Amino acid sequence: MSRLTDPEETEEIEIRSAADLLPLMWSADLPDYALDLRWSPDGSHLAALPSTGMPGIHDRKTNAVKNLPAHSGGNGSIAWHPQGSILATFGQDGILRLHDISSRTSRELQLPRGWTGRCAWNADGSLIAAAVGKAVHVIDPHTLETLQIIDDHRSTVTDLVWHPVLSNQLGTASDGGARMWRIGEKKPFARIDDGVAAVLTTWSPDGRWLVTSDQSPSVHLYDLKKRAPLFIQGFETKIKAIAWQTGGTSDLPWLALGGRTVITVWPCFGKNGPRGAKPIQLYGHLKEVSALDFPIDGPYLASGARDGLVFLWLPHHSNGPALIAREESEITTVRWSPDGLTLAYGTASGRIAIHTLSHKV
Amino acid sequence: MTSKLPVTVLTGFLGSGKTTLLNRILTENHGLRIAVIENEFGEVGIDHELVINADEEIFEMNNGCICCTVRGDLIRIIGSLMKRRDQFDHILIETTGLADPGPVIQTFFVDDEMKDKLALNAIIALVDARHIGLHLDSSEEAVKQIAFADSILLNKTDLATPAELDALEARVKAINGVAKLQRCQNANVPIASVLDIGGFNLDRSIGIDPRFLDPEYPFEWGGIFDAPAGTLTLEASKKPDPSMTTVIIPVSGTDDESLALAREVAMRAFSPDAIGAPSGHTISADGIPYDLILRAGSMNWTCEIVEPGPLAIFTQHYPEELGLLFLTESSELQPLIAASYKPDHSHDETVTSVGIEADGECDARKLDAWLSKLLRERGTDIYRMKGVFAIKGNPNRFIFQGVHMLLDPTDGGPWGYKPRRSSLVFIGRDLDRDELNQSFRKCLA
Question: Residue B237: exposed, middle, or buried by beta-carbon count in 10 A (0-12, 13-18, 19+)?
Answer: exposed
User: Hey, are the CB atoms on A195 and B60 less than 8 Å from each other?
Assistant: yes
Asked if residues A108 and A116 have their Cβ atoms less than 8 Å apart, the reply is no
User: Hey, are the CB atoms on A196 and B80 less than 8 Å from each other?
Assistant: no
> Considering CB atoms only, which of A33, A115, A175 is closest to B53?
A115
Asked if residues A285 and A268 have their Cβ atoms less than 8 Å apart, the reply is no
Determine contact: B78 vs chain A, CB below 8 A. no
The CATH number of B351-441, from 3.30.1220.10, 3.40.720.10, 2.60.40.3500, 1.10.287.130, is: 3.30.1220.10
Asked if residues A257 and A239 have their Cβ atoms less than 8 Å apart, the reply is yes
Residue B431 has pLDDT above 80, yes or no: yes
Determine contact: A52 vs chain B, CB below 8 A. yes
- Residue A289 domain flag: yes
Is the pTM above the cut of 0.80? no
- Residue A232 domain flag: no
Asked if residues B427 and B145 have their Cβ atoms less than 8 Å apart, the reply is no
Asked if residues B280 and B302 have their Cβ atoms less than 8 Å apart, the reply is yes
| Cα–Cα dist B400/B407, whole Å | 7
- Of chain B residues 40-59, which have a CB less than 8 A from chain A? 40, 49, 52-57, 59
Using DSSP, state whether B365 is helix, strand or coil: helix
Summarize pLDDT for B274-303 with one digit per residue, the tens: 677 888 888 876 677 888 877 766 778 888
CB contacts < 8 A, A to B, total 75
Which residue type occupies B285?
A
| Nearest CA distance, A270 vs chain B (angstrom) | 31
- Residue A352 domain flag: yes
Q: Do domains B5-199 and B351-441 have the same CATH topology?
A: no
- Of chain A residues 215-254, which have a CB less than 8 A from chain B? 215-216, 237
Determine contact: B442 vs chain A, CB below 8 A. no
User: Hey, are the CB atoms on A52 and B86 less than 8 Å from each other?
Assistant: yes
Residue A199 has pLDDT above 50, yes or no: yes
| Cα–Cα dist B225/A325, whole Å | 83
Q: How many domains does the structure of chain A reveal?
A: 1
Residue B137 has pLDDT above 70, yes or no: yes
Helix (H) or strand (E) holding B12: strand B5-12
- Residues of chain B in contact with residue A74, where contact means CB-CB under 8 angstroms, are 80, 84
Question: Residue A268: exposed, middle, or buried by beta-carbon count in 10 A (0-12, 13-18, 19+)?
Answer: buried
Widest distance between CA atoms in chain B: 79
Asked if residues A354 and A312 have their Cβ atoms less than 8 Å apart, the reply is no
* Nearest to B54, CA basis, from B73, B75, B36, B67: B73
- Residues of chain A in contact with residue B85, where contact means CB-CB under 8 angstroms, are 31-33, 51-52, 350
Bridge partners of residue A6, in order along the sequence: A11
| Cα–Cα dist B172/A221, whole Å | 49
- Of chain B residues 297-326, which have a CB less than 8 A from chain A? none
- Residue A228 domain flag: no
> Considering CB atoms only, which of A32, A72, A197 is closest to B72?
A197
pLDDT of residue B117: 84
- The structural architecture, per CATH, of the domain B5-199 is 3-Layer(aba) Sandwich (3.40)
User: Hey, are the CB atoms on A155 and B55 less than 8 Å from each other?
Assistant: yes
User: Hey, are the CB atoms on A115 and B54 less than 8 Å from each other?
Assistant: yes
Asked if residues A302 and A314 have their Cβ atoms less than 8 Å apart, the reply is no
| Cα–Cα dist A263/A265, whole Å | 7
One-character DSSP codes across A12-65: EEEEEE-TTTS-EEEEEE-SS-EEEEEE-TTSSEEEEEESSS--EEEETTT--E
Determine contact: B60 vs chain A, CB below 8 A. yes
With CA atoms as reference, the chain A residue closest to B37 would be A115
Question: Domains of chain B: which residue ranges?
Answer: 5-199, 221-340, 351-441
Bridge partners of residue A24, in order along the sequence: A355
User: Hey, are the CB atoms on A196 and B59 less than 8 Å from each other?
Assistant: yes
- Residue A285 domain flag: yes
| Cα–Cα dist B13/A3, whole Å | 57
- Residue A4 domain flag: yes
Determine contact: B111 vs chain A, CB below 8 A. yes
Determine contact: B110 vs chain A, CB below 8 A. no
User: Hey, are the CB atoms on A197 and B83 less than 8 Å from each other?
Assistant: no
Q: Tell me what ipTM this predicted complex has.
A: 0.81
How confident is the model over B55-78, as a mean pLDDT? Answer: 69
| Cα–Cα dist B77/B98, whole Å | 21
Residue A124 has pLDDT above 80, yes or no: yes
Determine contact: A110 vs chain B, CB below 8 A. no
Lowest average pLDDT, out of A118-132, A246-260, B148-162, B312-326, goes to B312-326
- Residue A325 domain flag: yes
Residue B200 has pLDDT above 70, yes or no: no
Summarize pLDDT for A128-178 with one digit per residue, the tens: 999 998 999 999 999 999 999 999 988 889 999 999 999 999 999 988 889
> Considering CB atoms only, which of B49, B60, B77 is closest to A115?
B77
CB atoms under 10 Å from CB of B165, counted, come to 16
For chain B, the first-to-last Cα distance in angstroms comes to 36
Which is more confidently placed, B208 or A112?
A112
How confident is the model over B356-374, as a mean pLDDT? Answer: 90
- Residue A9 domain flag: yes
User: Hey, are the CB atoms on B59 and A237 less than 8 Å from each other?
Assistant: no
Bridge partners of residue B126, in order along the sequence: B12, B153
Domain hosting residue A253, numbered range: 1-30+238-267+281-361
Which residue type occupies A173?
A
Check which CATH number belongs to the domain holding A259 and give it.
2.130.10.10
> Considering CB atoms only, which of B54, B76, B85 is closest to A199?
B76
DSSP secondary-structure letter at B432? -
| Nearest CA distance, B59 vs chain A (angstrom) | 5
User: Hey, are the CB atoms on B73 and A31 less than 8 Å from each other?
Assistant: no
| Cα–Cα dist B170/B184, whole Å | 16
One-character DSSP codes across B366-409: HHHHHHHHHHHHHTTTEEEEEEEEEBTT--EEEEEEEETTEEEE
Q: Which residues contact A242 (CB under 8 A, 6 or more apart)?
A: A200, A202, A211, A213, A219, A255, A256, A257, A258, A292
With CA atoms as reference, the chain B residue closest to A260 would be B112
| Cα–Cα dist A90/A97, whole Å | 6
Residue B388 has pLDDT above 90, yes or no: no
Summarize pLDDT for A55-89 with one digit per residue, the tens: 999 999 999 999 999 998 889 999 999 987 899 99
Summarize pLDDT for A220-257 with one digit per residue, the tens: 999 999 999 998 888 888 899 999 998 878 888 999 99
- Strand order from edge to edge, sheet including B34-39: B51-54, B34-39, B90-94, B5-12, B118-128, B151-155, B180-183
DSSP secondary-structure letter at B241? P
Q: Which residues contact A226 (CB under 8 A, 6 or more apart)?
A: none
How confident is the model over B373-397, as a mean pLDDT? Answer: 87
Residue B57 has pLDDT above 70, yes or no: no
| Cα–Cα dist A152/A161, whole Å | 16
With CA atoms as reference, the chain B residue closest to A93 would be B49
